[in-house]
Structure 1
Amino acid sequence: MKFVISILGIVVVLLLAWLASSNRKKIKFKPIITMIVIQIISSLLLLNTEYGLIIITGISAFFGILLEYANEGVSFVFGGMANEGEAPFFLTVLLPIVFISVLIGILQHLKILPFFMRGIGFLLSKVNGMGKLESYNAVASLMVGQSEVFITLKKQLALIPKQRMYTLCASAMSTVSISIVGAYMTMLEPKYVVTALVLNLFGGFIIASIINPYEVEPSEDILEIQESEKQSFFEMLGEYILDGFKVAVIVGAMLIGFIALMAAINQLFELLFNISFQQLLGYLFAPIAIIMGIPLSEAVSAGGIMATKMVTNEFVAMLDLSGGSHHFSERTMGILSVFLVSFANFSSIGIITGAVKSLNEKQGNVVARFGLKLLYGATLVSILSGIIVSLIL
Structure 2
Amino acid sequence: MKYIIAIIGLLVVFGLAILASNNRKQIKWKPIILMIVIQVILAALLLNTTFGLVIITGFAEVFTKLLDYAASGISFVFGGLANKGESPFFLSVLLPIVFISVLIGIFQYVKILPLIMQGIGLLLSKINGMGKLESYNAVASAIVGQSEVFITVKKQLGLLPANRLYTLCASAMSTVSMSIVGAYMTMIEPKYVVTALVINLFGGFIVSSIINPYLVKPSEDILVIQEVEKQSFFEMLGEYILDGFKVAVIVGAMLIGFVALMAGINNVFDLIFGISFQEILGYVFSPLAFIMGIPFSEIVRAGGIMATKLVTNEFVAMMDLSKMESSFSPRTLGIISVFLVSFANFSSIGIIAGAVKSLNEKQGNTVARFGLKLLYGATLVSVLSAVIVSIVL
TM band (smaller chain) = over 0.9
Question: Where does structure 2 lack aligned partners over 5 or more consecutive residues?
Answer: none
In the other structure, the counterpart of 1:26 is: 26
2:385 counterpart of 1:377 = no
> 1:326: how far off?
5.4
Matching of residues 110-149 of structure 1 within 5 Å: 110-149=110-149
Q: Which residue of 2 aligns with 1:230?
A: 230
Distance in 2 (CA, whole Å) between partners of 1:228 and 1:168 is 20
Distance 1:263 1:307 in 2: 14
Residue type of the partner of 2:197?
L
Match of 1:296 in 2: 296
Q: How does 1:65-144 map to 2 (within 5 A)?
A: 65-144=65-144
Separation in 2, partners of 1:323, 1:274: 22
Q: Which residue of 2 aligns with 1:163?
A: 163
- 1:145-202 C-alpha deviation (Å, 9 max, x unpaired): 0010000111111101110000000000000000000000000000000000011000
Secondary structure at the counterpart of residue 319 of structure 2: helix
Match for 1:381: what amino acid? V
Tell me the alpha carbon deviations over residues 75-122 of structure 1, each in whole angstroms, 9 at most, x when there is no partner: 000011111111210000000000000000000000000010000000
Distance 1:301 1:329 in 2: 12
1-structure distance, mates of 2:360, 2:221: 20
2:275 counterpart letter in structure 1 = I
CA–CA distance in structure 1, aligned partners of residues 9 and 365 of structure 2: 34
In 2, Cα distance between the equivalents of 1:238 and 1:151?
18
Give the whole-Å Cα distance in 1 for the aligned partners of 2:345 and 2:165: 18
Within 2, Cα distance between the matches of 1:352 and 1:177? 13
Shift of 1:221: 1.1
* Residues 10-21 of structure 1: pairs in structure 2 closer than 5 A: 10-21=10-21
Summarize deviations over 1:283-303 as a string: whole Å, max 9, x none: 000000000000110000000
Counterpart AA for 1:10: L
Alignment partner of 1:159: what SS? coil
Q: Could you tell me which residue of structure 2 aligns to residue 306 of structure 1?
A: 306
Letter aligned with residue 277 of structure 2:
F
Aligned residues: 393
**Aligned equivalent of 1:248:** 248
List aligned pairs for 1:237-386, cutoff 5 A. Answer: 237-324=237-324, 327-386=327-386
Report the AA paired with residue 154 of structure 2. Answer: K
Q: Is the 8 A contact 2:17 2:207 kept in 1?
A: yes
User: Which amino acid in the other structure matches residue 79 of structure 1?
Assistant: G
Q: Which 5+ residue runs of structure 1 have no aligned equivalent? A: none
The 4+ residue runs of structure 1 with deviation greater than 6 A are none
Structure 2 residue identity aligned to 1:82: A
Query: 1:359 deviation in Å?
Result: 0.4
Partner residue of 1:189?
A: 189
CA contact (8 A) 2:325 2:333 kept: no
Contact map agreement 1:122 1:135 (CA 8 A) in 2: yes
- CA distance in 2 between counterparts of 1:119 and 1:171 reads 17
Q: Partners in 1 of 2:51 and 2:324 — Cα distance? A: 30
Q: Are residue 41 (structure 1) and residue 41 (structure 2) matched?
A: yes
What is the percent sequence identity of the aligned residues? 77
> Judging changes above 3 Å, is the alpha-carbon distance between structure 1 residues 391 and 325 closer, same or farther for their aligned structure 2 residues?
closer
**1:324: how far off?**
3.8
Quote how far apart the aligned CAs of 1:232 are: 0.1
Structure 2 distance, partners of 1:83, 1:157, is 48
Separation (CA, whole Å) in 2 of partners of 1:126 and 1:69: 39
Q: Separation in 1 of the partners of 2:371 and 2:389?
A: 28
Counterpart residue number, 1:61: 61
8 Å CA contact retained: 1:270, 1:276: yes
Give the letter for the 2:96 counterpart: P
TM-score by length of 1: 0.99
